[in-house]
Chain A
Amino acid sequence: MPAQAAEAGTVEVSYRDAVREAIRDALRRDKRVFLMGEDVGRYGGCYAVSKGLLAEFGPDRIRDTPLSESGFTGAGIGAAMAGMRPIVELMTVNFSLLALDQILNTAATIRHMSGNQFGVPLVIRLATGGGRQLAAQHSHSLEGWYAHIPGIKVLAPATLEDARGMLWTALEDPDPVLIFENIMLYNMIGTLAPGAGPVDIAKAAIRRPGKDVTLITYGGSLWKTLEAAGQLAAEGIDAEVIDLRCLRPLDDQTFVASVARTRRAVIVDEGWRSGSISAEIMARIVEQAFYQLDAPVGRVCSAEVPIPYARHLEQAALPRVLGIVAAAKAVLGRS
């Protein structure tokens, strides 16, 4: 892998760098891969993920598009069906709703409707989540909605390794894959092994082993949850933290086995509570681990409001460390 060899000396990278490196790696590996979306070329991406790629790969492979999510997502679907491996960037998940018809009615459906004659090996990258005071039309977490759709995979890389490694595995998938990048993670700095490369996109990961309660989360909430687990440890509560990584299909084996060990679970989900992915996870726990449960399953979700612009209101609306700590203690019968 020449890309890694060139970067061998890199000690610290940001999540943004890791995503960019993943795109660069894919562009180098496979001539069929190209990136398209709003402002991905000259501007370098709304979150500066694709900065520098236009100069390196040229306008055929780094394509600026008109402000028409439905149009360029449809173009990506057509290209994928015709043999290309497009990466479509949707600036935020809120805007992806303009392309929902393309994603649900076409990308997710065409293999079924064509009697397996066509597939859509398309990757869509979307920014998701709140916390940057971008107001209600740019701050929602709708990945749980997409996890409802059969025919696609939904990924939520929370770590540098996954930001770096999930893209290539997704591009190798014969069906559409949506990758949700939480906007609060782009500036996260960490170290990435020089040989970091493709990772599996099927299994949830235990990010912190523990025995008293299972905290199940994904994406941007992982780091809040790990911080909460640290605070709980100071109070003698040993929390296990599970990073789902993949919201569709859900790796229920991993979290059900964990809950069977700890007998208690709290789900942390930046989506709204009602009809959420957290509700689905609860349902599976109850279906598969009912007789292991020693307390009702707890949840920490976003308040059911449009995510506010004002900083204090926005912070109050999103899952917070103190709320996760309180929920974990509640299922343990501690206050």
Chain B
Amino acid sequence: MGEFRMPSLGADMEAGTLTEWLVKPGDRVKRGEIVAVVETQKGAIEIEIFEPGTIERFLVDVGAKVPVGMPLALVRGEGEPKAEAAVPSEAKTAAAAPRPAEPTPTPSVPPSPPVAQVPPSSPQPAALLAPTVGRALASPAARRFAGEHGIDLASVPGTGPGGAIGIADIEAALKGAGAATEAPTPKAVGINLDQMRAAIAAGMARSKREIPHYYLQHSVDVTAAEKWLAGFNATRPPATRVLMAAVVLKAVAKAAKRFPEFNGFFRDGKFQASPAVHVGVAIAIRGGGLIAPAIHDADVLSIEDLMSAMRDLVQRTRGGRLRGSEIADPTITVSSLGDRGVEALYGVIYPPQVAIVGVGKVVTRPWVVGKRIAARPVVTVTLSADHRASDGHAGARFLAAIGDQLEEPERL
């Protein structure tokens, strides 16, 4: 019997609220099927299941706040017997014999010990059910204070009784974070942070506290890319036309595949490259906030598929219907502010990723072509990268590779 657990939808997530089951016990589920909706700091996220099988039963009621890693449902694998029938194998062979039919809906006691410890339903739906394993030791007051100020407890050293994090430790961390970002602390500004703001604050403060960023910039002549794109779009209806953003995304994805030190996660003191390239696309949300969900395997998608994936992602992000894997999976992020007139942007890396590529506006500039000066469309691509995982030399080659791709768009 498999367990479907609350997934982690980002490094800073401790718990989520189950808001909807999209399946019911007895339903067969396929790998990748969306089975539930979970409310997190980032909004409502659709959660996929990765174990095919049949939903045996729910372990958590709708409305319950559940820590990451806690089982939400039992999933019976293919060919696995029902829990209540999980008796000798002769039961199966003798199924045709004139036995009293299946001992139907008697509520079953889950057989495996780790499951048995889980309450079948939460008596207090709003309460956190159990502490997450490995969670930081912190006083209730410190925990609440940290939450109000978007401080990630995992990044705060504890000096209280038993090494627990106390309020004073959070205050010290706040002071430190304020100094590092050279910005007034949220407290001083007095902004009432909503949940997403708090999540961004926690992630970005942690990034600037922990990640030694370095920044590079590279300008690329996109004449060839624009020309190629015009030809590509000429025969297409407006709804399926490809934008320059998709071309850049593809160029970044392919370069990331070639330079693995920019594609992966820095965790527990070391960098681990990801074999797949899932590009997070920074999408601004109306009314404030942003989120950078992943386009999976962007390096191998065709340019049309990439474009339609982007459209779909933007639509669902603004509609608040993202999937869990899209939140948790990005291995590198691309942020673009060109359509807002910005020529170059330097991103803050979203931990545990190690790089973010910024794309500016395409501007027409005097450009040296051969020995002449010509007016050329130029875009500035920037890289913010984690110096723990890569060096500037590699960063320069990575950016140059992106530029080369844009200059030879037909090879994309």
Chain A positions within 8 Å of B, measured between CB atoms, are: 263, 290-296, 330-333
Cβ of B164 under 8 Å from chain A: yes
Chain A residues within an 8 Å CB radius of B166? 294-295, 333
Closest to A329 in B: B161
Neighbouring B residues of A263 by C-beta, 8 Å: 139, 141, 167
Q: Is B212's CB within 8 Å of the partner chain A?
A: no
Report how far A187 CA is from B164 CA in the complex, Å.
44
Main secondary structure, interface of B, reads: helix
CA distance A111 to B164 in the complex (A): 50
Query: B residues 158-179 with Cβ under 8 Å of A?
Result: 159-162, 164, 166-168
Q: Provide the bound-state CA to CA distance between A178 and B198, in Å.
A: 53
Q: Given A263-B167, A333-B166, A293–B140 Cβ distance below 8 Å? A: yes
Which residues of chain A are within 8 angstroms of B142 by Cβ–Cβ distance? 294
Contacts of B167 in A (CB 8 A): 263, 294
| B contact residues around A331 at 8 Å (CB) | 161
A292 CA / B141 CA spacing, docked (Å):
5
Q: Mark B145-168, 1 if CB is under 8 A from A, else 0.
A: 000000000000001111010111
> What are 5 A-to-B residue pairs whose CB atoms are below 8 Å?
A263-B167, A291-B144, A294-B166, A295-B160, A332-B161
Q: Which residue of A lies closest to B163 (CB)?
A: A333
Give the distance to chain B from A172, nearest Cβ to Cβ, in Å. 41
Please list the 7 inter-chain residue pairs (A to B) with the smallest Cβ-Cβ separation, ordered nearest first.
Answer: A294-B139, A333-B160, A294-B141, A333-B161, A294-B166, A291-B144, A294-B167
Q: Could you say which residues of chain A place their CB within 8 Å of the CB of B144?
A: 291
Q: Tell me how far the C-beta of A311 lies from the nearest C-beta in chain B, rounded to whole angstroms.
A: 33
Q: Which residues of A contact B140 (CB under 8 A)?
A: 290-294
Interface range for B: 10 to 19
- Collect the chain B residues with CB atoms within 8 Å of residue A330's CB: 161
Among B124-141, those with CB < 8 Å from A are: 139-141
Q: Nearest-CB distance from A317 to chain B (Å)?
A: 25
Of all chain B residues, the one with the shortest Cβ separation from A293 is B140
A295–B162 Cα distance when bound, in Å, is: 10
Distance, CA A292 to CA B139, complexed state (A): 9
Distance between Cα atoms of A290 and B142 in the complex (Å): 11
Given A290-B140, A293-B139, A330-B161, 12 new contacts (CB under 8 A): A263-B141, A291-B141, A291-B144, A292-B141, A294-B141, A294-B166, A294-B167, A295-B139, A295-B166, A331-B161, A332-B161, A333-B161
User: Which of A294, A295, A333 has the most B CB atoms < 10 Å from its CB?
Assistant: A294
Closest to A295 in B: B161
Most buried by A among B141, B144, B164: B141
Q: Report the nearest A residue to B138, measured CB to CB.
A: A294
Once bound together, how far apart are the Cα atoms of A181 and B139, in whole Å? 38
Q: How far is the CB of A291 from chain B (nearest CB, A)?
A: 5
Determine the distance from Cα of A290 to Cα of B139 in the docked complex, in whole angstroms. Answer: 9
Asked if residues B159 and A293 are in contact (CB atoms below 8 Å), the reply is no
What's the nearest-Cβ distance from chain A to residue B172, in Å? 13
C-alpha spacing A193/B111, complex, angstroms = 73
Q: Which residue of the partner chain B has the closest CB to A296?
A: B161
Which A residues touch B160, using CB under 8 A? 294-295, 333
Point out the residues of chain A lying under 8 angstroms from B139, CB to CB.
263, 293-295
Q: Which B residues, 49 to 97, have Cβ-Cβ distances below 8 Å to chain A?
A: none
A333-B141 contact, Cβ under 8 Å, with A263-B167, A295-B164, A295-B166? no
A263 to B168: give the CA distance in the assembly, Å: 11
Chain A positions within 8 Å of B141 at CB level? 263, 291-294
Return B160 CB to nearest CB of chain A, in Å. Answer: 4
Contact of B159 among A290, A291, A333 (CB under 8 A): A333
The distance in angstroms between the C-alpha atoms of A332 and B142, with both chains bound, is 14
How many angstroms from the CA of A10 to the CA of B139 in the assembled complex? 51
Chain A residue contacts of B161, Cβ below 8 A: 295-296, 330-333
CA distance A329 to B168 in the complex (A): 16
Q: Which residue of the partner chain B has the closest CB to A290?
A: B140
Q: How far is the CA of A240 from the CA of B388 in the complex (A)?
A: 48
Bound complex: CA of A330 vs CA of B161, how far in Å?
Answer: 6
CA distance A156 to B167 in the complex (A): 35
Instruction: Kindly state the separation between the CA atoms of A153 and B324 in the bound complex, as whole angstroms.
Output: 58
CB distance from B118 to the nearest CB of A (A): 24
CB distance from A286 to the nearest CB of B (A): 9
| Distance between Cα atoms of A294 and B164 in the complex (Å) | 9
Interchain CA distance A294-B139 in the complex, whole Å: 5
CB distance from B272 to the nearest CB of A (A): 36
Q: Measured between C-beta atoms, what is the minimum distance from A110 to chain B in Å? A: 39
Residue of A nearest to B159 (CB): A333
Q: Which residues of B contact A292 (CB under 8 A)?
A: 140-141
Q: In the bound complex, how far is the Cα of B144 from the Cα of A290, in angstroms?
A: 10
Tell me the complex Cα distance, A296–B162, Å. 10
Nearest Cβ in chain A — how far from B270, in angstroms? 32
A100 to B407, CA, bound (A): 96
B114 CB to nearest A CB, Å: 28
Smallest distance from the beta carbon of B24 to chain A beta carbons, Å? 36
B158 and chain A: residue at smallest CB distance: A333
A37 to B372, CA, bound (A): 118
Tell me the bound Cα distance from A263 to B170 in angstroms. 14
A36 CA to B233 CA, complexed, in Å: 107
What is the minimal beta-carbon distance from A256 to any residue of chain B, in angstroms?
A: 14
Q: Which residues of B contact A296 (CB under 8 A)?
A: 161
**Cα–Cα, bound, A291→B168 (Å):** 15
CB interface residues, B 192-226, toward A, < 8 Å: none
Q: State how many angstroms separate the Cβ of A130 from the closest Cβ of chain B.
A: 30
Minimum distance in angstroms from A261 CB to a CB of chain B: 11
